[in-house]
Amino acid sequence: MTRPVLAGPVLWSEGDGRDAVAERCAGRCEGCGAHWGGQAAHRQRRSQGGGWNPTNLVALCGSGTTGCHGLQHARPYLFQGLGWEVGPLEDPADIPVWILTPFRVGPGWHLLAVETDAVGIRRHVVRLVEARWIP
């Protein structure tokens, strides 16, 4: 698996991260497909060092107590299996996540990545991958 090369460390502001996720999800929850209300759920929690990089964010409906976002917070070990939760020592860019995308019919395993083009513009990309445990 080849990871994109970034020119130096890239720090994302909250606004930049939310904008990238909004573009990626096209107004739909990446968990269930319902209307997305603008909440960006951290895969690696901020208290564990998770930042605003879009590889660490999932567009989930609800708040931290309702909808898919609430389920993520209520059952972190269950949703770790879907990649919605990432441990403090893991890199979210290396952990596939089970999400719906607006460009595909149905859910799938995806790696979330950020690439920088020749003129330095950051592009958020989503790559469909095969699950590791399926032969």
Domain residues of the chain, as ranges? 14-128
Q: In whole angstroms, what is the distance from residue 61 CA to residue 132 CA?
A: 27
Encode pLDDT of 8-33 as tens digits.
Answer: 456 889 998 998 888 888 899 999 99
- pTM score, two decimals? 0.81
| Residue 25 identity (one-letter amino acid) | C
Alpha-helix runs per DSSP H in 26-75: 67-74
Encode pLDDT of 35-58 as tens digits.
Answer: 998 889 999 999 998 999 999 999
Q: What is the pLDDT, as a whole number, of residue 109? A: 86
Q: What is the pLDDT, as a whole number, of residue 3? A: 44
Stronger pLDDT, 71 or 113, i.e. the higher one: 71
- pLDDT at 66 > cutoff 80: yes
For the stretch 41-75, what's the b/e string if a residue is b when 16 or more beta carbons lie within 10 angstroms of its beta carbon? bbbbbeeeebbbbbbbbbbbbbeeeebbbbbbbee
